[in-house]
Amino acid sequence: MKKDVLIIGAGGVAQVVAHKCAQNNDVLGEIHIASRTLSKCEAILESVREKGAMKVEGVLKAHQVDAMDTAAVAQLIRDTGAQIVINVGSAFVNMYVLDACIETGAAYIDTAIHEDPAKICETPPWYANYEWKKRDLCAEKGVTAILGAGFDPGVVNAFARFAIDQMDEVKSIDIVDINAGSHGKYFATNFDPEINFREFTGTVYYWEDQQWKETSMFASGRDWDLPVVGTQRAYQSGHDEVHSLSANYPQADVRFWMGFGEHYINVFTVLQSLGLLSEQPVKTAEGLEVVPLKVVKAVLPDPSSLAPDYTGKTCIGDLVKGVKDGEEVEMFVYNVADHKEAYNEVGSQGISYTAGVPPVAAAMLVASGDWDAKTMKNVEELDPKPFFTILDDIGLPTRVKDAKGDRAWNA
Amino acid sequence: MKKDVLIIGAGGVAQVVAHKCAQNNDVLGEIHIASRTLSKCEAILESVREKGAMKVEGVLKAHQVDAMDTAAVAQLIRDTGAQIVINVGSAFVNMYVLDACIETGAAYIDTAIHEDPAKICETPPWYANYEWKKRDLCAEKGVTAILGAGFDPGVVNAFARFAIDQMDEVKSIDIVDINAGSHGKYFATNFDPEINFREFTGTVYYWEDQQWKETSMFASGRDWDLPVVGTQRAYQSGHDEVHSLSANYPQADVRFWMGFGEHYINVFTVLQSLGLLSEQPVKTAEGLEVVPLKVVKAVLPDPSSLAPDYTGKTCIGDLVKGVKDGEEVEMFVYNVADHKEAYNEVGSQGISYTAGVPPVAAAMLVASGDWDAKTMKNVEELDPKPFFTILDDIGLPTRVKDAKGDRAWNA
């Protein structure tokens, strides 16, 4: 059954979501997009029209909404009749939008954990601080809420589930995210700098020996030899999916590794050491209160502006180790995406593409009923196979590399 | 004759000026200090009292004034009866304070060129943009105005004059400023970061072949083998004194070289490349207009906070080349100062010390009549010998190194 979609947000990821919803509007129905700035929504819809992305004729409409105003979002859901809300707005708005979905009964899908603007890196597991507090309420009201359904978190959670399903016992899950692309700028972040840096300024939590352990950013690095992108150095980083996978597979070690070049680390280190990545306001000599991180964001390139010149590939995957029939086994489940191809298809760079395609696949599975769970779920709690099948079709094919070779997941 | 002094400003340099005025209040008279923030003035006077710096009993008084309000400064000059104003406030206030001196007839002394907050690195010669426009008025009214009487500009201008006076012809003046000290922080500037960085973000102007030439910061570097501090790398930088020395000695090449370590250059390069050193406001996502450079200033250590832990020495001097009796000659005129000694004496680090002692020497020469020029002068237009004599006495001895050896300037 076709289900109408309301997209919240109008950044680079929202652009991908809008294009992908349009390309699949025979499964999804009306496409509504809403953000604080109406003109940004309209610009996205204009790009959808330019590419002729709508598969069948249908509704494509922009709205203005303050996503931190639950009543306003609920009203918009009622006004548009949306049955699925894909929230790709700022991570600060999640709980307000989720509340609006619970209130109206619409299905909720997001791609990143909720954050309080005033706090960095809260106590683990992060989902327990906000989202999971609403789990019982979702179940009680029969509201589908799929948390963290981007690439990482999202597809990588499904990768883990897929590998674990083929083992008798799981021992470790290492998620590796490498962007081997080049944007040609002196420095830029691939998504909202505020969220990007917030991710790296706090304690790095990881799950080992059935307990939370801590390290700090760039303190723990290793080289990974990966398909297509080759050998790449990645560093343990704090990331959403560690906080749900560790709850679902407490017997496994769960770590997240992000690739960084020396130049990125140098710029990051300078900014952080000076205090310019702080989310706490400072006062200028003139008495103006200002959050340094917001100023850094203001001077950096808009991530969506990187798309036209972005070249190269990303490789994101899970190395899962475990036991099968009494033998130690391991499997690397992964995807490789190309920045240029993403831009040519939807006008966005590869990082936005990998983040924006999966929630649309999730929405299609909610529409088809496969993932219409009528409660709150993290992605590893859902069947990965229909997810991979859709992702194969719509631009993010899943591959597997293990003792038997390198192949499509269903080969 | 004793002359009463009004100090404008309450930063690290003002602290040195206050201490040195107090130590010489048998020549100078009452000591008044005024800035936007009364408590900062009071803290400086408290430190003067703590060190028992007053040579003879006398007046020591703090005032609040907006130094950009010429009428208010003029009124304060009248109220205090100050005959000499030592302006060590922000470089943005110079012209307002100078106007107040011209209005009241008080002598004016400053240590750095006037700057317009909205402009970086105006057309050379910089003095012609603001200060020199008032030269005729000073002469007409018989007002003494000594421009740039800190260390550099200031003492280095006197160094040049001293060397040139012993030659038949001057060919080049290279001013070298090395801070071989260590403050133990990740990164800090030695004086107001806003002024510090503004100095290095624009075009680097220098005078060669009787014309202005341009380079950019860190583009032109060389190693200097210097007394006490040894071999140090320094880079051509834009600096005030190049703009007056080139006018007074147009036949000489005039360059300024500032020492920088690799770490400083890295931090500076990152900040500048990102646009964080810009004096032009940016707008945050929330719509707040803010000048990035002012935020960088807000997160960096207060330069005066560096003093207690600062160790090591500075070496600042002029390599002057010319002709004497038909032979090519060269002379390095210099001073070496020690951060720790400065702190022990006046509670400030060496950079503030070298900047703050010379204007007090200049004030003493105005009081004695030697430098009471009754018009506007740059330091090289005044007799350097009485200046060196006082500087020898009050903490900044001048030395000379040439073919005849390394010795006191008057040995």
User: Quick one: A269 and A360 in the same domain?
Assistant: no
The beta-carbon contacts of A74-82 under 8 Å, at least 24 apart in sequence, are A74/A99, A74/A100, A74/A103, A74/A104, A76/A6, A76/A32, A76/A34, A77/A6, A77/A101, A77/A104, A77/A106, A78/A104, A80/A4, A80/A6, A80/A30, A80/A32, A81/A4, A81/A30, A82/A4, A82/A5, A82/A6, A82/A30, A82/A32, A82/A106
Q: Do A294 and B285 touch (CB under 8 A)?
A: yes
- The predicted pLDDT at position B121 comes to 65
Residue from B189, B196, B267, B284 whose CB has the most chain A CBs within 10 Å, to mutate? B284
- The predicted pLDDT at position B304 comes to 79
The DSSP secondary structure of B199-247, one letter per residue, reads HHHS-EEEEETTEEEEE-TTSSEEEEEETTTEEEEEEE---HHHHHHHH
> Which of helix, strand or coil describes residue B265?
helix
- The predicted pLDDT at position A299 comes to 96
CA A404 to chain centre: 30
Whether this model's ipTM surpasses 0.95 comes out as no
- Residue A282 makes CB contacts below 8 A (sequence gap 6+) with A275, A289, A290, A291, A292, B295, B298, B299
Higher pLDDT, A2 or B289: B289
Q: Do A274 and B294 touch (CB under 8 A)?
A: no
- The predicted pLDDT at position B194 comes to 84
User: Quick one: B237 and B166 in the same domain?
Assistant: yes
Interface of B with A in 10-39 (CB under 8 A): none
User: Quick one: B187 and B330 in the same domain?
Assistant: yes
- Residue B410 makes CB contacts below 8 A (sequence gap 6+) with B385, B388, B389, B392
Nearest CA in chain A to B295: A284
Q: What is the CATH number of the domain that holds A61?
A: 3.40.50.720
pLDDT mean across residues, chain B:
95
User: Quick one: B112 and B226 in the same domain?
Assistant: no
- The predicted pLDDT at position B201 comes to 74
Range of the domain at B159: 155-346+398-408
What type of residue sits at position B150?
A: G
The DSSP secondary structure of A93-124, one letter per residue, reads SHHHHHHHHHHHT-EEEESS----TT-SS-SS
DSSP one-letter code for B380: G
Place of tokens 């007056």: B244
DSSP one-letter code for A302: P
**B271 and chain A: CB distance < 8 Å anywhere?**
yes
Main-chain phi, psi angles of B168, to 5 degrees: -85, -25
On whether the pTM is more than 0.80, the answer is: no
Q: What is the mean pLDDT of residues B300-321?
A: 93
Rounded distance, CA B307 to CA B351, Å?
A: 9
Helix or strand run (H / E) with residue A281: none
User: Quick one: A234 and A381 in the same domain?
Assistant: no
- The predicted pLDDT at position B349 comes to 87
- The predicted pLDDT at position B202 comes to 79
Question: Does the CA dihedral B239-B241-B243-B246 come out positive or negative?
Answer: negative
- The predicted pLDDT at position A377 comes to 98
Q: How many CB atoms lie within 10 A of CB A384?
A: 23
**Rg from Cα positions in chain A:** 20
Q: Please give, rounded to a whole number of angstroms, the shortest distance from the CA of A188 to a CA of chain B.
A: 9
Q: Do A276 and B299 touch (CB under 8 A)?
A: yes
User: Quick one: B86 and B131 in the same domain?
Assistant: yes
Retrieve residue B165's tokens. Answer: 């006076």
- The predicted pLDDT at position A131 comes to 97
Mean pLDDT of residues grouped by 10 in chain A (411 residues)?
93 95 96 97 96 94 98 98 97 96 98 87 90 98 98 98 98 97 91 79 92 93 96 95 98 96 93 93 94 95 88 97 98 97 90 96 97 98 98 97 97 92
- The predicted pLDDT at position B190 comes to 82
User: Quick one: B30 and B75 in the same domain?
Assistant: yes
Whether residue A357 contacts residue A393, with contact meaning beta carbons closer than 8 Å, is answered with: no
| Residue B199 clears pLDDT 80, i.e. is over it | no
Q: What is the mean pLDDT of residues B370-379?
A: 98
Rounded distance, CA B196 to CA B302, Å?
A: 12
- Kindly report, residue by residue over B9-46, the tens digit of the pLDDT: 999 899 999 999 999 999 999 999 999 999 999 999 99
Q: Please give, rounded to a whole number of angstroms, the shortest distance from the CA of B266 to a CA of chain A.
A: 8
Q: Do B296 and A276 touch (CB under 8 A)?
A: yes
Q: Please give, rounded to a whole number of angstroms, the shortest distance from the CA of B267 to a CA of chain A.
A: 6
Neighboring chain B residues of A187 at a CB cutoff of 8 Å: 270, 273-274
- How many CB pairs lie under 8 A apart between chains A and B? 86
Q: Which of B194, B275, B299 sits opposite A292 (nearest CB)?
A: B299
User: Quick one: B301 and B364 in the same domain?
Assistant: no
Place of tokens 């990082």: A351
Domain count, chain B: 2
User: Quick one: A45 and A178 in the same domain?
Assistant: no
Torsional class of A228: left (φ above 0), alpha (ψ -120 to 50), beta (otherwise)? left
Q: Please give, rounded to a whole number of angstroms, the shortest distance from the CA of B201 to a CA of chain A.
A: 16
User: Quick one: B137 and B280 in the same domain?
Assistant: no
Q: Please give, rounded to a whole number of angstroms, the shortest distance from the CA of B271 to a CA of chain A.
A: 8
Spell out the SS3 assignment of B284-345: CCCCCEECHHHHHHHHCCCHHHHHHHCECEEEEEEEEEEEECCEEEEEEEEEEEEHHHHHHH
- The predicted pLDDT at position A172 comes to 98
Q: How many residues does chain A have?
A: 411
User: Quick one: B85 and B220 in the same domain?
Assistant: no
Q: What is the CATH number of the domain that holds B190?
A: 3.30.360.10
Q: How many CB atoms lie within 10 A of CB A203?
A: 15
Rounded distance, CA A201 to CA A120, Å?
A: 8
- Kindly report, residue by residue over B106-119, the tens digit of the pLDDT: 999 999 999 988 87
**B283 and chain A: CB distance < 8 Å anywhere?**
yes
Q: Do B186 and A274 touch (CB under 8 A)?
A: yes
User: Quick one: B95 and B112 in the same domain?
Assistant: yes
- The predicted pLDDT at position A195 comes to 78
Residue from B198, B265, B270 whose CB has the most chain A CBs within 10 Å, to mutate? B270
- The predicted pLDDT at position A282 comes to 96
Helix or strand run (H / E) with residue B123: none
Interface of A with B in 289-348 (CB under 8 A): 290-292, 294-300
